[in-house]
Amino acid sequence: MVSFSNSEEQEIFERVFAEIPSLIKDKCDGYDELYGYKLNPDDEDATASAFYKKNVAEALILKLCKAYRFQHEEIVSNFVKIMKWRSEFNPLSAAFLESHNKELQEVGILASYPEGEPNNRVVTWNLYGHLVKKKHLFKDADKFVRYRIGLMERGLRLLDFLDSENDYMTQVHDYKGVSVLRMDSDIKKCTKQIIAIFQQNYPELLFAKYFVNVPTLLQWFYDIVKAFVDKETMKKFVVLNDGSRLGNYLQHCPKNPYGGLDVKNTLQEENVAEVRPTEYALYLLEKQNNEDID
């Protein structure tokens, strides 16, 4: 059930929702997929139509309405931008088809804490501190970006867009080992690119973001990066010099080294390695694959 603060919001939501099929057809070159879900019920292809889930489509469009403060024009123009980006970038492929550099894969962990506080239940960990001596990984920004978007999309699969307590994710950046000397321009370039992609294409999905083990000497880097981030997103950031204090915020994370309640598993053991695409995403990826072979 979708609920609204007032009737104007409801009106805007219903208007946008009714426009989705024509927007997809006329403005998005027919691209019909958001985070693995189908948005257009009126598909000529009967096989594809079977994947449509109205309640999920409603939940996703409501997120966009919230992100753009129920401003009709903004919602529509950003919806079109997001769909076009997805059509070109193919994030589903980055998440479920492509293989990424092993060194990158090792720094991205997806953890699920079903007992956690609402919206602290799906956590994407980025152990970027491990990459300080691996500058070569930032040379090819596109490869890095595809890896990071793949991780984001797989993380989204652990959310439940129909559950208001688990429809946002939390992210952690662990910068243990980072030093002033190691910050170089390739890292900054990659960072800037990913921040821009996240801001434009993944609205209303982040609940909180923790930056841990940030050396006091590197607070200046935070100030630089902040300049690329919008104000609403900034409010969700927490910087902690001492990583072992993270457990005060993310109760169910590993005790060692983050101070959480999980005494049994290391972060690596918490990793949810098997994440499956939605049935619809699988259908789309197979279809693309067949077209490529043809």
Applying CB under 6 A, the residues found at the interface with ligand HEM are 126, 128, 131-132, 148, 171, 173, 175, 178, 182-183, 187, 190-191, 194-195, 198, 209, 211, 214, 218, 221-222, 225-226, 229, 233, 237, 239
CA 41 to chain CA mean position, Å: 25
Query: For ligand HEM, which is the closer residue by CB, 40 or 191?
Result: 191
Query: For ligand HEM, which is the closer residue by CB, 48 or 239?
Result: 239
- Contact between 161 and 113 under an 8 Å Cβ cutoff? The reply is no
Query: For ligand HEM, which is the closer residue by CB, 112 or 241?
Result: 241
Query: For ligand HEM, which is the closer residue by CB, 2 or 239?
Result: 239
DSSP state of 216: G
In angstroms, the Cα distances linking 68 to 40, 62, 71, 207 are 21, 10, 6, 16
Q: Which helix (H) or strand (E) holds 258?
A: helix 255-258
Query: For ligand HEM, which is the closer residue by CB, 77 or 219?
Result: 219
Min dist. Cβ of residue 267 to ligand HEM (A):
16
Q: Which helix (H) or strand (E) holds 95?
A: helix 91-96
Min dist. Cβ of residue 208 to ligand HEM (A):
11
Min dist. Cβ of residue 287 to ligand HEM (A):
30
Query: For ligand HEM, which is the closer residue by CB, 225 or 282?
Result: 225
Min dist. Cβ of residue 143 to ligand HEM (A):
12
In angstroms, the Cα distances linking 256 to 127, 217, 253, 269 are 15, 24, 9, 12
Min dist. Cβ of residue 120 to ligand HEM (A):
16
Min dist. Cβ of residue 198 to ligand HEM (A):
6
Query: For ligand HEM, which is the closer residue by CB, 65 or 169?
Result: 169
Q: How far is residue 58's CA from residue 214's CA, in Å, rounded to a whole number?
A: 39
> Which residues in 73-90 are b (16+ Cβ under 10 Å) and which e?
eebbebbbebbeebeeeb
Give all strands (DSSP E) within the chain, no chain letters: 108-112, 122-126, 169-174, 206-212, 237-240
Min dist. Cβ of residue 126 to ligand HEM (A):
5
Min dist. Cβ of residue 204 to ligand HEM (A):
14
- Contact between 281 and 36 under an 8 Å Cβ cutoff? The reply is yes
The closest of 291, 284, 252, 275 to 117, measured between CA atoms, is 252
Query: For ligand HEM, which is the closer residue by CB, 213 or 278?
Result: 213
Phi and psi (nearest 5°) for 122?
-115, 120
CA 179 to chain CA mean position, Å: 27
